Structure 1
Amino acid sequence: MFSIKYTRKLVLPVLSLCSALLFSSCDSNDDSPSPDATESAYVMSLAVQGSDGIFSYYTVPFSDLMTGSLSAKGQGIEQSGYFDFTQIGKTIYSIGGLDDVNVVGISKNESGELKQIGNVSFPNSLSDIVKADDNTLIGVEMASTSDVIKFHTISPNTVTVTNTKQHLVSAITNLKAPSYSGMAISGNYLYLSYYISDPTTYATPHTDKAQIAVFTYPGLEFQRVIEDTRTGPIGGFNTKSGLIEDEQGNVYALSHTNPANGYSQVTNKPGILRIKSGETSFDQTYFFDVDQITGGKTISHLKYLGNGKAFAEINTAARNQQAAWTDGPLKSAIIDLNNKTINYINGLPEHAGNGRRLAALQEGKFVYMAIPEESSIFVYRIDTETNTATKGAEVEANFVAGISKL
């Protein structure tokens, strides 16, 4: 598996490649410019491994991602353990794992400095948080050790829980340990994608169909499980991008069953399914045949950009040749969900992922992303119109857990 000792409760911290990188953090070279909070729109969450093997995450503001060297240097907000970062609106949500199962909001105060908002704890680490509306977030608990799935309604302003709704796991499957892979809210429904993974061996013996549980929103009442045998289960271990939603409310479901992303077997071809806005069934007229279009490759990560386009990380190895739990080798591309086309990015090296949520920031036509290269990590600015990339600043960290703009 991945280089850091894996437990079912651990949401994958880093890949073997990133663990091998040796970077400094708070004691980095003095010639690295210090971030100026009043001028720093960009925010990076940098993971640095200590001599004890424990990671510390430094969420730090920067004014520029394209020049110089970026390091924590003891600034920003520090958190030790394991954390997953997702930006919703003007707030970054830090979702704790391992022994720290809290959720903290990170935003800016009137002086432009980073501040923490709230600090709510849960019995188990949240699998994810998504936006429901301007005043509501939905968090989900799906732990392999629990026989219930819990949805938490969260206030984004205070990061406090306003309501909790729970369902028995047996409502969506008679198999043990459904693993979270994606969540989307469209119209009057919440869609929850999952796959089955043995909590002891992590084997995935059930890969013959895609399954999504449908709940009402805002009532969060269970409706049904929808299935499709044209492809396998949706999403993969810890990528959290199994479901994406477009401006019209259509929900797209990504399936790859990659050994590199947690699957022990392969049954069906990789592809993307669609649920039309307001529907509770898969659209049988739509299938993005990823296997055919890529020549046998798979999409590992997906980030919706707008106007039917999405940023994709494509595994360049055939599934029968992928090394297990490696999240790579990856090549970046822009895909058109409507026209079913793929355009690879020029100027980016083939790379490994972090085995976790894709850390990428969209700013207009650009996407910013950190790419490991041999013994270094560099930011790249990707032009999604010309499909080209420009190399930027070097990052002093073991890996980048999040890139945001506040």
Structure 2
Amino acid sequence: MKKSYLKWFFVVGMGVALGACSDDDTTDPTPGPGAGTQSRYVVASAPIGSQGVADYLLTTGDLSQGTISTVGQGIEQDGSYRYYLTHKGKFFSLLYGQGNPGAVTTYALDEKGGLVKTSDFQSETVQVFAPAGDDILTIKVPRSGNESASWFRINADQSKIVGEGQVNIVKLAGNGERAHFTWATQVGDKIFAPYMSIKGAAPDVFGTANPDSSWIAVFSYPAMTLDKVIKDNRTSFIGSYFNNGLSVDENGDVYAFSPASATNSGVATSTKPSAFVRIKRGTTEFDQSYFFNVQEKSGGYKIANQTYLGSGMFLLYMYGDLGKASGNKKLAIADAYNQTFTWVIGVPDVIASSSASYNNNTVSDDKKSVFVGINTEAGSWVYTVDIATATAKQGLKVEGGAITAIVKVK
């Protein structure tokens, strides 16, 4: 398990001398541009060249210009690995404990636009987290040993666990392997939880003998009772480890992508293309009339991550090696409705790492652009990507660390 920016690539050649940074419960008293507004951007930044050092949380009202720094500013997060989301006007920081207990820290905005800690409690270390109703649904998914995944409902207003239960993931897979949830998404009054089928045993824990199928477990909510499992054989599993592969559009239709990255004993075994599939609103079956072969449209490249932008548009992070689930990422804009694909221009040729794609990259209020944190050997910037033209422009510079997440708190 690695911090979100390390899940891409290590940033090299960026030794930065850091000054003392605050670990208080509020951000620097001098906020950046946009103070007094009703919403702020939280930028998580990890110190460069330091292993096992937590992120610093910075706030700003403008991602298109200027400079912010971790030096002497920001709220230091305890623990090495943190993941972030916002729900019901609050900012949640989740500690990944690597086998140790996790934690959920909640923040709100003060009158100056800074973050103020409102609660902090110990929890299980989880691999899945997503807004659902008034809650944040989290799931602890064992990769081996224990045959049950544990789920927890954390009420966003109360910042406490209000429900929990278990799912037998070996029984769920039903093929001699185990279901390893990649994410969970609320779809109407259901939770759609895509999963990988994995062996769950050394020396090939994440390997599988079932590389060419997609599965989504459908649960009722909030009871989390299993309704059914839906399956498709046109591509491989949806999403990947710690990687949300499923989005719901404004019409209530579900679009889900597969990276086609299954392996067996370390050898790539997916024979189906990296593609989007669809589940139409009000149904719990894959739409057999829809198949968006992104690998074909891109000239042979596979999808690594996605961020839904609205109106059927997606920001895609594509693996850089042709035909493989590896290589420096490239950015693209895809239209899932019209099945078109366009490479983004104006970004660095070599992206060392980027802000996490799971519900973090921020779409502008007018829905015309998306903000993406990009780290290179030369430094870290937030880029504004124009959705219509697939053109990026360099904006806010972040000094003292690599951008790991961008979240808008309203």
TM-score (norm 2): 0.84
Deviation, 1:130, is 1.8
Describe the shift of the 1:122–1:21 C-alpha distance in structure 2 as closer, same or farther (beyond 3 A). same
SS in 2 for 1:319: coil
C-alpha distance in 2 between matches for 1:120 and 1:264? 41
Q: What is residue 348 of structure 1 aligned with on the other side?
A: 347
AA at the equivalent of 2:11: C
AA at the equivalent of 1:272: F
Q: What is residue 86 of structure 1 aligned with on the other side?
A: 85
C-alpha distance in 1 between matches for 2:333 and 2:88? 24
Deviation, 1:149, is 1.8
AA at the equivalent of 2:73: Q
1:38 and 2:22 correspond = no
1:228 and 2:232 correspond = yes
1:291 and 2:295 correspond = yes
Describe the shift of the 1:368–1:278 C-alpha distance in structure 2 as closer, same or farther (beyond 3 A). same
Deviation, 1:92, is 2.2
Equivalent of residue 64 in structure 2, options 47, 63, 66: 66
C-alpha distance in 1 between matches for 2:167 and 2:149? 5
Q: What is residue 329 of structure 1 aligned with on the other side?
A: 328
1:107 and 2:100 correspond = no
Name stretches of at least 5 consecutive residues in structure 1 with no aligned partner.
Answer: 1-5
Deviation, 1:176, is 4.5
Q: What is residue 369 of structure 2 aligned with on the other side?
A: 366
Q: What is residue 22 of structure 1 aligned with on the other side?
A: 15
1:255 and 2:254 correspond = no
AA at the equivalent of 2:186: I
Deviation, 1:318, is 1.7
- Which deviates further from its counterpart, 60-69 or 154-163? 60-69
Describe the shift of the 1:25–1:402 C-alpha distance in structure 2 as closer, same or farther (beyond 3 A). farther
Q: What is residue 131 of structure 1 aligned with on the other side?
A: 131
1:377 and 2:380 correspond = yes
Note if contact 1:242-1:254 (Cα within 8 Å) is conserved in structure 2: yes
Q: What is residue 339 of structure 1 aligned with on the other side?
A: 338
Describe the shift of the 1:86–1:169 C-alpha distance in structure 2 as closer, same or farther (beyond 3 A). same
Deviation, 1:129, is 2.2
1:183 and 2:184 correspond = yes
SS in 2 for 1:60: strand
Deviation, 1:295, is 1.6
Describe the shift of the 1:66–1:247 C-alpha distance in structure 2 as closer, same or farther (beyond 3 A). closer
Note if contact 1:235-1:256 (Cα within 8 Å) is conserved in structure 2: yes
Note if contact 2:71-2:400 (Cα within 8 Å) is conserved in structure 1: no
Residues 81-109 of structure 1: CA distance to partner in whole angstroms, max 9, x if unpaired? 21011233422221111245111222213
Note if contact 1:69-1:393 (Cα within 8 Å) is conserved in structure 2: yes
Q: What is residue 266 of structure 1 aligned with on the other side?
A: 269
> How do residues 153-232 of structure 1 correspond to structure 2 at under 5 angstroms?
153-174=153-174, 175-197=176-198, 198=200, 200=202, 201-205=204-208, 206-232=210-236
1:76 and 2:74 correspond = yes
AA at the equivalent of 1:250: D
AA at the equivalent of 1:62: T
SS in 2 for 1:282: coil
Note if contact 2:9-2:353 (Cα within 8 Å) is conserved in structure 1: no
Residues 296-326 of structure 1: CA distance to partner in whole angstroms, max 9, x if unpaired? 1112111111111121112232234x54xxx
Deviation, 1:177, is 4.9
SS in 2 for 1:182: coil
Q: What is residue 247 of structure 2 aligned with on the other side?
A: 244
C-alpha distance in 2 between matches for 1:48 and 1:207? 38
Residues 112-160 of structure 1: CA distance to partner in whole angstroms, max 9, x if unpaired? 321123223333x122322222x23322221224321222222111221
SS in 1 for 2:251: coil
C-alpha distance in 1 between matches for 2:186 and 2:404? 24
Residues 189-247 of structure 1: CA distance to partner in whole angstroms, max 9, x if unpaired? 21111113445444422312111111112321112221111001111232x22111112
- Which deviates further from its counterpart, 299-308 or 60-69? 60-69
1:282 and 2:279 correspond = no
C-alpha distance in 1 between matches for 2:300 and 2:191? 32
C-alpha distance in 2 between matches for 1:73 and 1:283? 51
C-alpha distance in 2 between matches for 1:179 and 1:353? 25
C-alpha distance in 1 between matches for 2:281 and 2:20? 51
SS in 2 for 1:144: coil
Note if contact 2:309-2:370 (Cα within 8 Å) is conserved in structure 1: no
C-alpha distance in 2 between matches for 1:372 and 1:13? 9
C-alpha distance in 2 between matches for 1:193 and 1:11? 22
Number of residue pairs matched by the alignment: 385
Q: What is residue 140 of structure 1 aligned with on the other side?
A: 139
1:149 and 2:149 correspond = yes
Note if contact 1:191-1:214 (Cα within 8 Å) is conserved in structure 2: yes
Describe the shift of the 1:12–1:332 C-alpha distance in structure 2 as closer, same or farther (beyond 3 A). closer
Describe the shift of the 1:24–1:394 C-alpha distance in structure 2 as closer, same or farther (beyond 3 A). farther
TM-score (norm 1): 0.85
Q: RMSD in angstroms over aligned alpha carbons?
A: 2.9
Note if contact 1:189-1:215 (Cα within 8 Å) is conserved in structure 2: yes
